[in-house]
C-alpha cells in the first residue's frame, strides 16, 4: 500500500492560562501528522516555535510543499534535507519514527540507540502569577521532584522565595525567558543561591547573553541556554556562556536531529536538558527518548493541558509514564 499523508491543525485547552515573560496562552495550538502505510499509522505532533514566527498554518504549508516526497517514501534522513529545522520537521520526523516502529515491531528507543527506556521525572511549570499564588501553586506540587518557576523582570526573587516556602524539598529551575540583564543576574545570584535554585534557564536575551562569559564562578548556579539554541550550528557561540543546553525538538526539527545535537553538545562539554513546547503526549513522546540521556527533563506540555490524546502520557507527581505502544513509539 502506498504511503498516505494526513495533516491537520488542532487546539488543546489548557488547565489555566499559561503566562511567561513573552505573553499568555490559553490553548496549545499544534499540527498533527498521520502517515498511513501497510495498515500501520505513524503519528507526529508539534507546537512549533512561536517566537520564530511558526504557527499551525505555517507548519501545514511547509509540510504540504513536500507532500509528494513524503508520500513517495522519504525516510528520516531524507527529511533533514527536505524541511528546515522547526516544528513541521519535528511532526513529520516523529511520524516516521513511529511508523517504522509500528511496521517493524522494533520500538523507537531501541532504534534510536538508547541504553534504557524508563519513566521520566519531568519538571512542571508554574506560570507567572501573583506572589501569594506562586506559594499556593507550589504547595499543591510540593511532592514533585522538580518545579520550574516562570518569572519576568518584576519581583523574581519574591516569586522564587514563595515557591521555596511552598515546596521546601523540590529542585528548582528559574526560567526568565530572556527578561533579565547580566547585571541583574549577577545582583540576584546570591539570593538565588540561598534559595537553593538548581538551574537558571535563559536569563538574558539572545545577543546580550554574550555578557554571561566569565561569570560562572560568581553566579555558581548552572545557566541553561534555551532561546539561544536552535540547532547544532549555535553550539560554538554558547561555549563559555552556558553550562547546560535545553534541546527542544520543535526547534532542532525532530528526534533525528535532536540525537545528533545531543552528541555534539556533550562533545563540546555541555550538560543536557530536554524541553518542549506546548502540545499533547505525541509531541513530547520523542523527547522522552532523548530524556534517557539528559540530566534534566522539562516535558510537561500535556500536564498543563485540560485534555490530551487517548492513552496519553500519565503524570504522577511529575513522573511521566512511558507512552503506550499503541499511541507512539
pLDDT tens per residue, range 167-202: 999 999 999 999 999 999 999 999 999 999 999 999
- Closest C-alpha to 278, from 99, 77, 24, 74: 24
Instruction: Report how far Cα 108 is from the mean position of its chain's Cα atoms.
Output: 19
- Same domain as 312, residue 172: yes
Q: Residue 329 domain-assigned?
A: no
Q: Residue 172 domain-assigned?
A: yes
Residue with cell 539561544: 228
pLDDT, tens digit, 9 for 90 and up, residues 262-307: 999 999 999 999 999 999 999 999 999 999 999 999 999 999 999 9
pTM: 0.94
pLDDT, tens digit, 9 for 90 and up, residues 17-43: 776 766 767 799 999 999 999 999 999
**Cβ within 8 Å of residue 147, ≥6 positions away:** 123, 124, 125, 126, 138, 141, 163, 167, 170, 171, 172, 173
d(Cα 53, Cα 203) in Å, to the nearest integer? 21
- Same domain as 86, residue 197: no
Annotated catalytic residues are: 150, 248
Bridge partner list, 33: 7, 44
DSSP code string of 112-160: TT-S----EE--EEE-S--HHHHHHHHHHTTT-SEEEEE--SSSHHHHH
- Closest C-alpha to 240, from 255, 257, 250, 225: 225
Q: Is the pLDDT of residue 16 over 90?
A: no
Please, what is the average pLDDT of the chain? 95
- Same domain as 146, residue 88: no
- Same domain as 177, residue 103: no
Q: Is 169 exposed, middle or buried (0-12, 13-18, 19+ CB in 10 A)?
A: exposed
Determine the structural domain holding residue 105 and report its residue range. 4-111
Amino acid at each position: 500500500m502506498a504511503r498516505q499523508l494526513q495533516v491537520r491543525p488542532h487546539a488543546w485547552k489548557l488547565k489555566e492560562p499559561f503566562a511567561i515573560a513573552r505573553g499568555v496562552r490559553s490553548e496549545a495550538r499544534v499540527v498533527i501528522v498521520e502517515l498511513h502505510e501497510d495498515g500501520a499509522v505513524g503519528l507526529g505532533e508539534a507546537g512549533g516555535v512561536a517566537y520564530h514566527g511558526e504557527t499551525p498554518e505555517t507548519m501545514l504549508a511547509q509540510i504540504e510543499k513536500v507532500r509528494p516526497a513524503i508520500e513517495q517514501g522519504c525516510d528520516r534522513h531524507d527529511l533533514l534535507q527536505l524541511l528546515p529545522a522547526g516544528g513541521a520537521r519535528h511532526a513529520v520526523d516523529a511520524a516516521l519514527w513511529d511508523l517504522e516502529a509500528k511496521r517493524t515491531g522494533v520500538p523507537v528507543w531501541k532504534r534510536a540507540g538508547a541504553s534504557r527506556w524508563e519513566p521520566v521525572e519531568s519538571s512542571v511549570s508554574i506560570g507567572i502569577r501573583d506572589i501569594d499564588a506562586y506559594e499556593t501553586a507550589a504547595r499543591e506540587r510540593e511532592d514533585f521532584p522538580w518545579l520550574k518557576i516562570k518569572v519576568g523582570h518584576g519581583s523574581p526573587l519574591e516569586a522564587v522565595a514563595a515557591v521555596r516556602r511552598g515546596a521546601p524539598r523540590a529542585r528548582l529551575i528559574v526560567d526568565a525567558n530572556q527578561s533579565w540583564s547580566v547585571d541583574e543576574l549577577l545582583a540576584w545570584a546570591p539570593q538565588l543561591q540561598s534559595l537553593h535554585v538548581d538551574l537558571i534557564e535563559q536569563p538574558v536575551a539572545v545577543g546580550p547573553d554574550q555578557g554571561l562569559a566569565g561569570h560562572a564562578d560568581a553566579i555558581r548556579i548552572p545557566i541553561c541556554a534555551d532561546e539561544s539554541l536552535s540547532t547544532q550550528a549555535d553550539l560554538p557561540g554558547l561555549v563559555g556562556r552556558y553550562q547546560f543546553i535545553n534541546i527542544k525538538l520543535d526547534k532542532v526539527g525532530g528526534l533525528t536531529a535532536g540525537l545528533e545535537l545531543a552528541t555534539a553538545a556533550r562533545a563540546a562539554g555541555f550538560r543536557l536538558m530536554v524541553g518542549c513546547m506546548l502540545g499533547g503526549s505525541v509531541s513530547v513522546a520523542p523527547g522522552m527518548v532523548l530524556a534517557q540521556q539528559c540530566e534534566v527533563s522539562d516535558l510537561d506540555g500535556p500536564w498543563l493541558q485540560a485534555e490530551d490524546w487517548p492513552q496519553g502520557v500519565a503524570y504522577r507527581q511529575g513522573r511521566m509514564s512511558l507512552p503506550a505502544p499503541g499511541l507512539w513509539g
